[in-house]
Amino acid sequence: MGAPLGAIGIGRAAIPGAHAAPPRAVPTHPLARAPRPRTCLIVDDSRVVRKVSRPMIESFGFSVTEAENGEEALARCKAEMPGLVMLDWDMPVMTGIQFVTQLRALDATHRPHVVFCTSRNQTQDIFQGIEAGADEYVTKPFTADSLRAKLERIGAV
Amino acid sequence: MIEIEVQNETTQSQDKLRFAVVPRIGEGIRLRDDAGYWTSFDVLDVWYQKAEYGDVWVPYLHVRKTGEGVVEPAHMHQEAVSFAT
């Protein structure tokens, strides 16, 4: 007579002769395993755009910080990597493309989502942005709904 | 003439335009919209930033299309934000 089955569960251990398989190591990208924090960095040289997009992103449940250009944003990312970066294209000091290229080269605990927010909407611009390392692209002017849809598509919200 | 960077909340754009005087907060100004029509915009904010080329402070304007209000953040996920047409 075999071992009695417990009241809960019909686990393998209760079946005579069965052995639990050892956990299989699943190879994953080290950065992919770290959870992204619910923080967003808005990078835009326009104070007004930062001002209007901030409440939108906060309404999605993110805590938001701001940077005026790519250089400042990169310094903020080195200090504390956000989960999401909303990025303008044309900025003084360091452009959005330069920023995202350097951001992706950083050895970070997690890979933040990067969304370009710009009035450039030509196909080659979008391609260049994605190729540089951005995850998504939203053209100005954007609405909270359109932004949310983009963020949902990349799993940021 | 005074060159002022106009940061437009409605179009989420910024353009450098020339003015005879610096508009004040609360005033209305007429600007061409994307379709080329003259449209009224409210001046919501005026501020000055130091120019890159020297110890000169240059003005900036924050404008929004007249009649467009700000949607409360709590309702933003339910409806399109009115400043973004």
In tens digits, chain A (157 residues) has pLDDT values of 444 444 443 334 444 444 555 555 555 555 555 678 999 999 999 999 999 999 999 999 999 999 999 999 999 999 999 999 999 999 999 999 999 999 999 988 899 999 999 888 888 999 999 999 999 999 999 999 999 999 999 998 8
Q: What is the pLDDT of residue B84?
A: 37
Mean pLDDT computed over every residue of chain B: 84
Interface contact B73-A59, CB threshold 8 A: yes
Q: Name the stretches of chain B with pLDDT < 70.
A: 70-85
Kindly list the residues from chain A whose CB atom is less than 8 angstroms away from the CB atom of residue B46: none
Q: B83: number of CA atoms within 13 Å, CB side?
A: 28
B60/A142 Cβ within 8 A? no
- What confidence score (pLDDT) does residue A25 get? 55
Q: Does A12 lie at the interface with B, CB-CB under 8 angstroms?
A: no
Give A56's contacts in chain B (Cβ within 8 Å): 73, 76, 81
Provide, as residue numbers in chain A, all residues whose Cβ is less than 8 Å from the Cβ of B79: 144-145
What pLDDT was estimated at residue A143?
Answer: 92
Classify the phi-psi angles of A103: left when phi > 0, otherwise alpha if psi is within -120 to 50, otherwise beta.
Answer: alpha
Q: Which of A46, A49, A143 sits opposite B81 (nearest CB)?
A: A143
Task: Show the tokens assigned to B83.
Answer: 């400043």
Beta strand B28-32 with B38-50 is antiparallel
**Confidence check on the interface: ipTM exceeds 0.90, yes or no:** no
In terms of Cα–Cα distance, which of A87, A102, A86 is closest to A40?
Answer: A86
Q: How far apart are CA B85 and CA B75, in angstroms?
A: 17
B9 CB neighbours in chain A (<8 A) are 48, 51-52
pLDDT digits (tens, 9 = 90+) for B74-83: 444 444 334 4
Cβ of B77 and A144 within 8 Å? yes
Residue A124 C-alpha, separation from nearest chain B C-alpha, in angstroms: 21
At A2 the pLDDT is: 45
A89 in Cβ contact with A95 (< 8 Å)? yes
Coil vs helix vs strand at B39: strand
Cβ within 8 Å of B, A 88-147? 92, 119, 140-145
How far apart (Å, rounded) are the C-alpha atoms in residues A137 and A156? 13
Looking at residue A27, its pLDDT comes to: 53
Tell me the chain B residues in contact with residue A144 when contact means C-beta distances shorter than 8 Å.
Answer: 71, 76-77, 79-81
pLDDT of residue A121: 81
> Does the beta carbon of A46 lie under 8 angstroms from any beta carbon of chain B?
yes
pLDDT in tens, A1-44: 444 444 443 334 444 444 555 555 555 555 555 678 999 999 99
Residue A151's contacts (CB-CB under 8 Å, 6 or more residues apart) are: A60, A84, A113, A115, A136, A157
